[in-house]
Amino acid sequence: MKKSRVAVVSVLLAAVLLGAAPETIRAQQGGSMENLLRPYLDPDFTPTEGPDTDKAFMRQKAAEIKAALPEKLRVAPGQKPKILLLTTGTYGTLHTPGAAGLIILLREAVVKYGAFELTEVYTDAGLTLEKLKEYHAVVLNNVGRVPNPQFANEILPAYVRDGGGMLAVHSTALLSYKEPDAEFNRLLGGYVDQEAKYGHPQKQGQAFPVVLPQPDHPLVAAFKGEAASLTVTHRTLLGQIRKPYQVNIAPPKRLADELYVLLPAKGQDTPPQVLVQIDRATAPQVYPDYVDDFAYALTWIKTYGKGRVFYTQFGHNMAVYAVPCVAGGILDGLLYAAGAQAPARREEKTAAAAGNPIFPYFFQKFEGQEAKLKEIGYTPTPFLLTKIDFTKNPPYESGKIQHWIQVMAKSGPGFVFVHAAVVRDSGDEEEAIRIVRETADVAQPAGFFVSVYPYFGSHVPSAEKALPFVQRIKRDNVGLTLHLPQEIKGGNARRFPEIIEKVKDHINLVVVCGADLPAEGDDPAKWPWSRLIRPLGEGDFDVGGFVRLVKATGYDGYFSQICWGIERPALDYLPQSIERWKGFCRQH
């Protein structure tokens, strides 16, 4: 990464306040924006003109913000992501205190966890696409306007579309609000309604009731702790005296901050997934009649191309960052946006591939099985088999599945197998794609892959049929299962070189087992599964040759051994199967 020009004053300030080394926290010259922020970041600073801040109050707020961070990270990065924090366009002093609060929060997180590198900039000048690609995520800290519209509507979208991450807070929803069709709005997912008075609902400033539409989603974990209360008064802002008002906060049920009336962006490929919202039924705020539930969203995530976006309305008041659920939720969102969980899974997967990245499933359970499986050389991996069936109501039990993802995530990275069993028409298929995207967005922060699981006689009977389905889903953690016995059942026993070449870029799981090879003229569709699912080492199909074909593509991911229908006790055949697997790996 190229080194930024260093503003010595800012670096020394960071080092004095936080005890951090200048190479950990770097600040780039930003002129007037830094001057606006300085009284909030340096309580000892006295401006030569304009009103001063209450220094004791600022010290108190800074201490409370630092104390609000959780003891441990909930979303663990697998590598040290590089974060670019852009603070600019705060409408003068209007959103400067809130911007300062986020800076204090992220600086303290760097010191507390050492989990990411933070570079601070105060202007979008010079932020080219090539420059942004040096970072895992960009944070837009109350960026309500920028002088260069190309940055918002071309450079940032291109960066995220190619796999970058973006976290945006509060007034960033104003960035293109006067241009509803702007690409930035599609990137963010929504924008402030310019028809509403000053963009705000009526009767704002009061505490509002908070609900979690997806209570089992990993990115709302911070909002599920014990209730707390905090009362603050928003005091003097630099350069402008604003009327003080009370902010009453009692998470996780009631919070307060400045609110916007938000509208969903037009023409976006993937709509936002709302994680935290105001309880519309009991909210004291008055919203226009024409808005829908989206206007009440407080926090959401979405994908844009290959990238990830996290937005929160919180961030007008500096003190809101002193609320543990807000502070922790934003930190979780930042690591999600930075893709921190994905590198962790990739590193673990690659390490396993060097040894024995194979786990058995659908076998007869036995006492102490996890320890025994590890002992003989397997890699126990949590998985969940799910089914989409549009003859059922509902066709997919999303709530239960999200719950079990969180339960199983405690055991480490794993898989959600999605079996598209009954999909009747194009409308069903569109809904199935939406369902898998939603599942993937829940699974990703928990460290889970989603694998479209083919099944003979279903809507997706083979890897080739799964391919277009996966390509339309467009999620980094979604792939397809190359399933040896299902492919043989479908008549593909001699087509594996062709099939593997076709789907190789989208495989995220390979299922193996012993199997019989159909002779010319045989119809394996009529065979019992007992001929297609056998312990490794049994049957005359060349499983070792199949494994070599897969690994020759550069695949370094997970394998699994299916044991469905094998009536023998697992320990009668798994030790022999793992030895055969080790032999396959040595041959490769």
Asked whether 358 and 510 are in contact (CB, 8 A), the reply is: no
Could you read off the pLDDT of 460-472 as tens digits, one per residue? 999 999 999 999 9
DSSP states along 368-434: THHHHHHHHT-----EEEEEEETTSSSSS-HHHHHHHHHHHHTT-SEEEEEEEEE--SHHHHHHHHH
Domains in the chain (CATH in brackets) are 8-45+53-68+75-279+292-339 (3.40.50.880), 346-587 (3.20.20.150)
Find tokens 């480490």 and name the residue.
412
Asked whether 416 and 448 are in contact (CB, 8 A), the reply is: yes
Could you read off the pLDDT of 91-117 as tens digits, one per residue? 877 888 899 999 999 999 999 998 899
Could you read off the pLDDT of 216-270 as tens digits, one per residue? 788 888 887 544 333 333 333 333 333 333 333 334 456 667 888 899 998 887 7
- What span, in angstroms and rounded, lies between the C-alpha atoms of 229 and 404? 31
- Higher-pLDDT residue of 399, 75: 399
- Whether residue 65 is predicted with pLDDT greater than 70 in this model: the reply is yes
Asked whether 385 and 417 are in contact (CB, 8 A), the reply is: yes
Residues facing 237 on adjacent strands: 240
- What span, in angstroms and rounded, lies between the C-alpha atoms of 268 and 120? 30
- Whether residue 20 is predicted with pLDDT greater than 80 in this model: the reply is no
Structure tokens, 305: 């191309």
CB atoms within 10 A of CB 191: 26
Give 57's pLDDT tier (boundaries 50, 70, 90).
confident
- Whether residue 346 is predicted with pLDDT greater than 70 in this model: the reply is no
Could you read off the pLDDT of 295-328 as tens digits, one per residue? 889 999 998 888 899 999 999 988 889 988 899 9
- What span, in angstroms and rounded, lies between the C-alpha atoms of 128 and 364? 57
How confident is the model over 58-73, as a mean pLDDT? 89
Query: Residue 233 to residues 128, 248, 284, 326, 414: CA-CA distances in angstroms?
Result: 40, 9, 20, 18, 46
- What span, in angstroms and rounded, lies between the C-alpha atoms of 68 and 222? 11
Of 111-125, 153-167, 187-201, 378-392, least confident by mean pLDDT is: 187-201
- Whether residue 180 is predicted with pLDDT greater than 70 in this model: the reply is yes
Strand 414-422 and strand 383-389: the pairing is parallel
- What span, in angstroms and rounded, lies between the C-alpha atoms of 185 and 297? 15
Share of the chain above pLDDT 90, in %: 51
How confident is the model over 572-576, as a mean pLDDT? 95
DSSP states along 287-299: --TT--GGGGEEE
- What span, in angstroms and rounded, lies between the C-alpha atoms of 199 and 262? 8
Count Cα atoms within 13 angstroms, Cβ side, for 327: 29
Amino acid symbol at 499: I
Contacts (Cβ under 8 Å, ≥6 apart) of 198: none
Give 42's pLDDT tier (boundaries 50, 70, 90).
confident
Q: What is the CA radius of gyration of the chain?
A: 27
Region for 349 from its dihedrals, namely left if φ exceeds 0, alpha if ψ lies in -120 to 50, beta otherwise: alpha
Of 458-462, 471-475, 515-519, least confident by mean pLDDT is: 471-475
Nearest to 573 by CA among 583, 559, 563, 564: 563
Share of the chain above pLDDT 70, in %: 83
Longest CA span, the chain: 92
Highest mean pLDDT among 6-15, 22-31, 177-186, 481-490: 481-490
- Higher-pLDDT residue of 90, 204: 90
- Helices (H), ranges, 168-215: 183-188
Strand 165-169 and strand 307-312: the pairing is parallel
Structure tokens, 148: 């260069």
Residue 435, pLDDT score: 93
Could you read off the pLDDT of 132-142 as tens digits, one per residue? 999 999 999 99
Residue 193, pLDDT score: 87
In sign, the C-alpha dihedral spanning 275, 280, 282, 286 is: positive
Asked whether 101 and 141 are in contact (CB, 8 A), the reply is: no
Strand intervals (E) in 423-565:
448-452, 478-483, 507-512, 559-562
* pTM of the predicted structure, to 2 decimals: 0.60
- What span, in angstroms and rounded, lies between the C-alpha atoms of 203 and 214? 27
In sign, the C-alpha dihedral spanning 88, 94, 95, 97 is: positive
Nearest to 449 by CA among 360, 384, 354: 384
- Whether residue 153 is predicted with pLDDT greater than 70 in this model: the reply is yes
Average pLDDT value for the chain: 82
Q: Kindly provide the b/e burial profile for residues 384-405, where b requires at least 16 CB atoms within 10 angstroms of the residue's own CB.
A: bebbbbbeeeebbebeebbebb
Find tokens 């002193």 and name the residue.
322
Of 106-110, 214-218, 485-489, 535-539, least confident by mean pLDDT is: 214-218
- Higher-pLDDT residue of 20, 279: 279
- What span, in angstroms and rounded, lies between the C-alpha atoms of 404 and 529? 29
Residue 556, pLDDT score: 83
Residue 360, pLDDT score: 95
Could you read off the pLDDT of 353-380 as tens digits, one per residue? 344 479 999 999 999 999 999 999 999 9
Rounded to the nearest 5°, which phi and psi values hold at 106? -70, -35
- Whether residue 519 is predicted with pLDDT greater than 90 in this model: the reply is yes
